[in-house]
């Protein structure tokens, strides 16, 4: 079972990493449009739609990835003091009452919107000659499906935690730098950093 859970984590992670490159394309598109608009006096009517669709795709396709890393916003002020079993009870209740109905509705409605959009060859009406919308609307059910599968994995994790008393492991990923661990790795103490700060200050005053 644990191998299956980690496999789903890996798939969600891969999808999240793959779509994260949209931010590079979005940055390049915005930069080019700003240059084209103000330097070349040649704005493109479709650029705003394209930017919105790229950002929306990035945002939605990162949902399952964020869920797999337990990274969605949560009120940890009280939750963090709960025992693992109490946390699992709260999570399981919220998953069943709110998450599953909401994501299933999102996936089904998104499928309907996408099917209708493909059927009428829908294009954006915000600007004249707007880009096609149907590829973007297809992202809605696709993202919903990934989030739903990852949510089922999280529900299974809740059940395992209720039985064993501890949370099962997750797929490892990039984490923020732990400053204290970094100090230990490079054998640097707080006193060394303080001395370096004093040296820099003396050098600045010497100038």
Q: Report mean pLDDT in 10-residue bins for the chain, 207 residues.
A: 87 93 94 93 88 93 92 78 92 95 96 95 81 93 96 95 89 60 70 72 66
Domain encompassing residue 47: 2-172
Predicted confidence at residue 82, as pLDDT, reads 87
Q: Are residues 88 and 190 in the same domain?
A: no
Quote the pLDDT of residue 194. 75
Residues 135 and 185 in one domain: no
Burial classification of residue 9, based on how many CB atoms lie within 10 Å of its CB (0-12 exposed, 13-18 middle, 19 or more buried): buried
**Are residue 27 and residue 51 in the same domain, yes or no?**
yes
**132 and 185 fall within a common domain:** no
pLDDT number for residue 127: 73
φ/ψ region of 146 (left if φ > 0, alpha if ψ in -120 to 50, else beta) reads alpha
| Residue 96 confidence (pLDDT) | 95
Token pair belonging to 155: 């529900």
Count: domains in the chain: 2
pLDDT of residue 191: 78
Q: Do residues 12 and 104 both lie within one domain?
A: yes
Residues 129 and 188 in one domain: no
Q: Tell whether 55 and 153 lie within a shared domain.
A: yes
**pLDDT reported for residue 178:** 58
Q: What is the pTM of this model?
A: 0.78
């Amino acid at each position: 079972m644990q191998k299956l859970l980690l496999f789903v984590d890996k798939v969600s992670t891969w999808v999240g990493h793959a779509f994260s490159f949209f931010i590079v394309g979005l940055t390049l598109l915005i930069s080019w449009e700003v240059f084209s608009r103000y330097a070349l006096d040649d704005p493109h009517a479709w650029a705003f739609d394209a930017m919105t669709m790229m950002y929306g795709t990035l945002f939605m396709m990162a949902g399952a990835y964020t869920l797999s890393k337990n990274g969605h916003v949560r009120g940890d002020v009280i939750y963090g003091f709960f025992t693992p079993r109490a946390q699992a009870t709260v999570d399981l209740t919220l998953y069943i009452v709110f998450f599953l109905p909401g994501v299933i509705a999102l996936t089904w409605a998104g499928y309907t919107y996408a099917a209708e959009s493909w059927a009428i060859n829908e294009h954006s009406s915000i600007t004249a000659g707007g880009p096609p919308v149907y590829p973007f609307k297809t992202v809605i059910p696709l993202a919903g499906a990934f989030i739903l599968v990852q949510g089922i994995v999280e529900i299974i994790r809740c059940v395992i935690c209720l039985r064993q008393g501890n949370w099962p492991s997750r797929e490892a990923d990039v984490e923020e730098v732990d400053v204290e661990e970094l100090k230990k790795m490079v054998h640097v103490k707080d006193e060394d950093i303080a001395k370096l700060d004093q040296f820099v200050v003396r050098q600045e005053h010497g100038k």
